[in-house]
Structure 1
Amino acid sequence: MTTLLAFIFAIVVLVVFHELGHYMVARWCDVKVLRFSLGFGKVMYAKRFGNGETEWVISAIPLGGYVKMLDEREGEVSATDLPRAFNRKPVLQRMAIVVAGPVANLLLAVLLYWALFIYGVPGVKPVLGEVKPGTPAAMAMLHERDILVAIDGIAVPSWQDARWVLLDRVLQGKQARLDVQSAQGDTALRTLRLADLTAADLDGDFMAKLGLQPYQPPVYPVIGKLVADGAGQRGGLREGDRIVRVEGAAMPFWRDWVEVVRAHPQQPLRVEIERAGQLQQLIITPDRIEENHAAIGRIGAAPQIDRAAFDAMLIEVSYPPLRAVEEALRKTWETSVISLKMMAKMVVGEVSLKNLSGPITIADYAGQSA
């Protein structure tokens, strides 16, 4: 329900600004505007303000709108109103009225980006996680915990910014020059090859195909929470216990412990734990559950998370008002250009239609943002 309401609200805002663009320029060109409608279908509310010539309307279906102008092609026009008919206006004025709607939406985008950049946009620091061998990132000599500082001279303060700039370079088929800073503070210039990516790679996580993934602080095998009467609690685990070994194999990270548990449904495991500085032995039998038509083990436990370490990976990108205007203009331009490039590649079949964001994507994104 939240997603639907947010979707309708987003559409209404876009439509209002779009139609206001047409309306304002039509008025400046002295074109008589007969109706400004928000929505289509049956008229639910109509109002004229004072002696105004425009009827302001709210219609039943709020998924669009229109501005109806005086036009001889749509009906008889009195002699006194002929100079104010749309079709009687010079070509440049008619063109200005037509393009005013899209321009208004672009100005809205600039305004919203400007407000966001002043308020602050939360993001993830552009720190690299594990770089897998054989990937373009590995061949560019990038390493785990390297920080992306800039791409082709464009500063990338967050992971989202880095992804956006690289998407543009991928669409151009160019290689990218990366300014990076190592975990030790050394700076270097790396060249990342992008030409090997295929159209199918853009359907998924193209950053992973490049060997780029955000760094995540290690999660150690320390019990943070236990499900009441779960297999872990029944087996004697307590919050704060550290898993040292399972069946004699060391467990350096939580993911290692999870893999073993999932692989042994209803099979007893010899688990060595550390509790209050003392080693103890437990026998834990994971419960059996079905996941994606396969049997896996589960004990009902969650890890102890170092919140400070994860919070340290977050960043809030903000700018002073004047700089925010510059960034808002740049972001709006980049978004428009990249969208057009994606559409062009869809037309020629180089990119899948899965990348086309329509009303469903808008609805989902609006719901997540609400």
Structure 2
Amino acid sequence: MGDWIGSIFWLLVTLGVLVTFHELGHFWVARRFGVKVLRFSVGFGTPFWSRYDKHGAEIAVAPIPLGGYVKMLDERDCHVAPEDADKTYNSKKIWQRALILLAGPGFNFILAFLLYWLMFVVGKNEVYPTLGEPQKLMQSAGFQKGDRLISIDDEDIRSWSDVSLALITSGIDRQDVPVIVETANGSQQLRTLPLSQLADDVDEEDIISAVGLSVWRPDRPAIVGEVTAGLPADLAGVQGNDRIISVNSELVQDWYDVVTVLSQAGEEAIELVVERSSEQLTLSIPQRVMDEETGERKIIGVVAMELAPQEQAFAERMFYVLSYGPFQAINKASAETWKMTSVSLEMMGKLVTGKASIKNISGPVTIAQVANDSAKRGLSWFLSFLALVSLSLGIINLMPVPMLDGGQLLFLMFEKFKGAPLSENFQLKAHFVGLIMIVSLMSLAFYNDILRTVS
């Protein structure tokens, strides 16, 4: 499945699951309070599929997947028969209408908890956050290659995702943070990362590179280990133990450079300069071929030399499975839901106050790409991604913006204090302002998506 097709597919899966669960919250609670539901729609526009349930509600799927809605019987929208007067949304008490509105975001938080629980039960393949050769701030703070990060600012660190969250949130505030590491010899040490020394013009997306953090990886010289018979490299005369000097005139320092340059090569011939028995040879490889095992990348048919036993053993210790039993996973899922909610709220607060760049706002293109990437990495990674987006959807819908659930809740609060509903004219104007805000936010998100795509 190509990247574009895969991205579109997983975007539809993501939006379908999240929107359905969100609207199911409104639908279910409305039914509990005796409100007649006219339509439950996943997507906007004219439905291309619909069915009616036993209560007469139309269950529909529409072509524009960027949301959905639950249309309830309401005297402000249409004529209501006398026998249905007690089944209207507007006839219900304020607290009942508030719970109907809260149910949508609430179901998103419940879904996030369930997804995190399932992720922990299934198990997620992770890599211990172990440092490569530190540079810049990390080097000056005394970090060493092989240090495993245990905690940052008193927050337990289990993965590189935890590292990114901790450094970005602290880096935005330019706060020095205490870091506990486990050194290569097994002892624990406390170090301080001076994030206050970050330059003012460093955006949050550049913080990781600006502090000089690098991921540990074994030393792999640019020496060919094996050549697969019959593939382009073999046909071009590449042999085992050849040291690769350059690829397409670009000098390479190690095997990672070789892989990077080869992956960027187009359909043209590839020129290798190799050293063999103290002699330099120039070899021309007509083109790469599709890897039959994966079907997703093109190769020339060479692999690196095997790692030294000590490095191989260290590399194997880097990988683990983050998993818990069904009951233990309940507490872990609750903690993860709370943690990610707090981080999301903190980042949104920084966006509002201007501490964080609006370049962080992402739209459907970025969501589609991340959805596709996480799905490729396995079920648990996709569950984690889905949970995070569900939390974000719940939080955004609680914002006090007309047209969102939070804006409607704000209207109900005014109605409670006023003793009567706000005028229809005021609500129409407020909805228009809310629409402008939402369209502006979506336009900014699309703009950021385009910049990321072309950059």
Shorter-normalised TM-score: what interval? 0.7 to 0.9
The secondary structure found in structure 2 opposite 1:338 is: helix
Partner of residue 17, structure 2: 13
1:136, distance to aligned residue in structure 2 (A): 2.4
User: TM-score scaled to structure 1, two decimals?
Assistant: 0.80
Query: Among 349, 364, 367, which residue is 1:362 paired with?
Result: 367
Map 1:181-200; keep pairs closer than 5 Å. 181-197=182-198
Match of 1:315 in 2: 320
Question: What are the within-5 Å matches in structure 2 for residues 4-43 of structure 1?
Answer: 4-43=8-47
| Alignment check: 8 A CA contact 2:179 2:191 kept | yes
CA gap of 1:318–1:201, structure 2 versus 1, over 3 A, is farther
5 Å-filtered alignment, 1:119-158, equals: 119-132=122-135, 135-158=136-159
Q: CA deviation at 1:245?
A: 9.9
Which amino acid letter does the alignment assign opposite residue 314 of structure 1? F
Which residue of 2 is the match for residue 111 of structure 1?
Answer: 114
Deviations 1:91-140, CA, capped at 9 Å, x for gaps: 221111112111111111111111011111122211111012xx222232
SS in 2 for 1:315: strand
> Deviation at 1:70?
1.1
2:54 equivalent to 1:57: no
In 2, are the aligned partners of 1:12 and 1:63 still within 8 Å (CA)?
Answer: no
Residue 296 of structure 1 corresponds to: none
- Structure 1 counterpart of 2:341: 336
Q: Give the AA of the match of 1:321.
A: P
Give CA deviations for 1:165-196 in whole Å, capped at 9, x if unaligned. 33333344432221111111121111222233
Q: Secondary structure at the match of 2:48?
A: strand
Q: How far is the alpha carbon of 1:254 from its aligned partner?
A: 4.2
- Matching residue within 85, 89, 92 for 2:88: 85
Out of 44, 49, 63, the position equivalent to 1:45 is 49
- Aligned residues of 1:123 and 1:160 also touching (Cα < 8 A): no
C-alpha separation in 1, matches of 2:200 and 2:169 = 14
Q: Which has the larger helix fraction?
A: 2
CA distance in 1 between partners of 2:89 and 2:113 (Å) = 29
Distance (Å, rounded) in 2 between the aligned partners of 1:344 and 1:223: 51
Structure 2 residue runs of 5 or longer lacking an equivalent are: 247-251, 263-269, 287-299, 376-455
Q: TM-score, normalised by structure 2?
A: 0.66
- Asked whether the 8 Å contact 1:39–1:64 carries over to 2, the reply is yes
- Confirm or deny: 8 A CA contact 1:124 1:160 kept in the other structure: no
What is the SS of the residue equivalent to 2:83?
Answer: coil
Task: Output the CA distance in 2 between the equivalents of 1:13 and 1:255.
Answer: 39
Distance 1:256 1:361, change over 3 A: closer
Output the aligned Cα RMSD: 3.4
Counterparts of 1:23 and 1:231, CA distance in 2: 61
How many residues in Structure 1 have an aligned counterpart in Structure 2?
A: 340
CA distance in 2, matches of 1:124, 1:106: 27
CA–CA distance in 1 between the matches of 2:215 and 2:204?
19
Counterpart in the other structure of 2:97? 94
Q: Tell me the distance in 1 between the aligned counterparts of 2:109 and 2:316.
A: 34
Instruction: Specify the alignment match of 2:350 in structure 1.
Output: 345
**Alpha-carbon distance in structure 1 between the residues aligned to 2:28 and 2:365:** 30
2:60 counterpart SS class: strand
Query: Which structure's CA Rg is the greater one?
Result: 1
Q: Would the aligned equivalents of 1:29 and 1:93 in 2 still touch at CA under 8 Å?
A: yes
- C-alpha offsets along residues 44-103 of structure 1, whole Å, 9 cap, x if unaligned? 2332233x1322222233332110111111012223322221112122211111121111
Structure-1 separation of matches of 2:259 and 2:107: 52
Structure 1 residues 42 and 266: alpha-carbon distance in aligned structure 2, compared to 1, 3 A threshold: closer
Greater Cα shift, 33-42 or 318-327: 318-327
21-30 or 202-211, which deviates more: 202-211
Identity of aligned residues (%): 35
Give distance in 2, aligned partners of 1:204 and 1:125: 22
2:282 maps to 1:282: no
Q: Distance in 2 between matches of 1:319 and 1:256?
A: 38
Distance 1:200 1:70, change over 3 A: farther
